[in-house]
Amino acid sequence: MNAVPFKLISPIEIVFEGEAELVIVVTTEGEEGVLPQHAPLLAALRPGVLRANVRRESTTQRLELATGAGFIQALPDRITVLVDEAFRFEDVDIAKTREELAQAQAAQDRTTAEFAQAKLRLTGHSN
């Protein structure tokens, strides 16, 4: 299968640079698969999962990442994806992330409760 240079770039680093046979991204309109020789395309991406078949030492490997919002630029001879953040599936510590999520959720609940209470105390004191 054909392959084209593919780059996945986040503000702090080049997450992936190599050859790709297929790149699947989640655009604001839905999933979009991009093959080599694609007509020029520029699309906005929403947070989602980016999948790509990338070539590594003449074998094809699957690359899967959770990515933030961004953009994809496809040209016949290269594919470039810009994202706010990107995490490889295998790099995510599931237990630790679950815990962080729970903590963030608890903090958010607390803030919501404080907000509601403060608002209540101000009731009748408006203007």
Chain residues in the site for other proteins (CB under 8 A): 7, 9-14, 27-29, 32, 39-44, 69, 71, 73, 75, 80, 82
- Choose between 21 and 71: whose C-beta lies nearer to other proteins: 71
User: How does DSSP classify residue 10?
Assistant: E
Answer for the pair 20, 54: CB distance below 8 angstroms, yes or no.
yes
Answer for the pair 47, 10: CB distance below 8 angstroms, yes or no.
no
- Choose between 22 and 34: whose C-beta lies nearer to other proteins: 34
- Choose between 44 and 113: whose C-beta lies nearer to other proteins: 44
Q: Rg for the chain (alpha carbons), in Å?
A: 21
Answer for the pair 75, 38: CB distance below 8 angstroms, yes or no.
yes
